[in-house]
Structure 1
Amino acid sequence: MRLNHLNLTVSDVKAAMDFLVNYFGLQIGSTRGNGFAVLFDDGGLVLTLMKGAQAVYPSTFHIGFIQESEERVNEINARLKDDGFDVSPPQRSHAWTFYVQAPGGFTVEVLH
Structure 2
Amino acid sequence: MKLNHVNLTVTDVAAARAFLQKYFGLKVGGERGNAFAALFDDDGLVLTLMKGTQVSYPATFHIGFVQESEEKVNEINQRLKDDGFDVAPPQRAHGWTFYVEAPGGFTVEVLA
TM-score, reference length from structure 1? 0.99
Runs of 4+ that moved beyond 4 A: none
Aligned residues: 112
Q: Percent identity over the alignment?
A: 76
For each residue in 1:79-103, what CA deviation from the matched residue of structure 2 results, as whole angstroms up to 9, or x when unmatched?
A: 0000000000000001100000000
Name 1:50's counterpart in structure 2: 50
Deviation at 1:54, TM superposition (A): 1.6
Deviation at 1:55, TM superposition (A): 1.0
Deviation at 1:50, TM superposition (A): 0.1
Kindly indicate whether residue 105 of structure 2 is the aligned counterpart of residue 105 of structure 1. Answer: yes
SS at match of 2:87: coil
SS at match of 1:18: helix
Deviation at 1:2, TM superposition (A): 1.4
For each residue in 1:62-90, what CA deviation from the matched residue of structure 2 results, as whole angstroms up to 9, or x when unmatched?
A: 00000000000000000000000000000
CA distance in 2, matches of 1:3, 1:24: 18
Q: CA RMSD in A?
A: 0.4
Name 1:35's counterpart in structure 2: 35
CA distance in 2, matches of 1:17, 1:50: 10
Name 2:67's counterpart in structure 1: 67
Residue type matched to 2:5 in 1? H
- Which structure 2 residue ranges, 5 or more long, are not aligned? none
- Which structure 1 residue ranges, 5 or more long, are not aligned? none
